[in-house]
Amino acid sequence: MEALIAVCIGLLVGGGVYLLLRSRSFSVVLGLTLLSYATNLLLFASGGLKTNQAPLIHQGGPFADPLPQALVLTAIVIGFAMTAFMLVLALRALNDLGSDRVDARQRGEER
């Protein structure tokens, strides 16, 4: 199970970095989102993958560590806010510059 999670994290990081290196702003936003998902999986897997255990402390029984779960929930909220802000910023740049390219210049400037 740990190997599968590690491969998924690697694929998400690879796809996120590839999209970050693209020149379109929407691809950059998707790349940041994929990196955020990879970070969430990494935080969740850092607590150990345990099955058939209580999520809270049970009398005398084993339990899952709640700290990685709380960190992932916080990271999801922060990632959602960051994605919304980046989308608004990309749409504003598209409206002002007339292009969704990251390296675009203002209208009227020569290259």
Q: What is the pLDDT of residues 30-77, one digit of tens each?
A: 999 999 999 999 988 887 777 776 666 666 666 667 788 888 899 999
* Angle (deg, nearest 10), helices 66-97 and 25-46: 180
Q: Is the pTM of this model over 0.85?
A: no
Residue ranges making up the domain that contains 80? 1-49+66-97
% of the chain beyond a pLDDT of 70: 80
User: Is 103 contained in some domain?
Assistant: no
Query: What is the spatial distance between Cα 27 and Cα 80, in angstroms, rounded to a whole number?
Result: 16
Would residue 48 be called left, alpha or beta, if left means φ above 0 and alpha means ψ between -120 and 50 degrees? left
User: Is 3 contained in some domain?
Assistant: yes
- Tally of domains within the chain: 1
Q: Compare 103 and 83 and report the one with higher pLDDT.
A: 83
* Residue 1: its H or E element: none
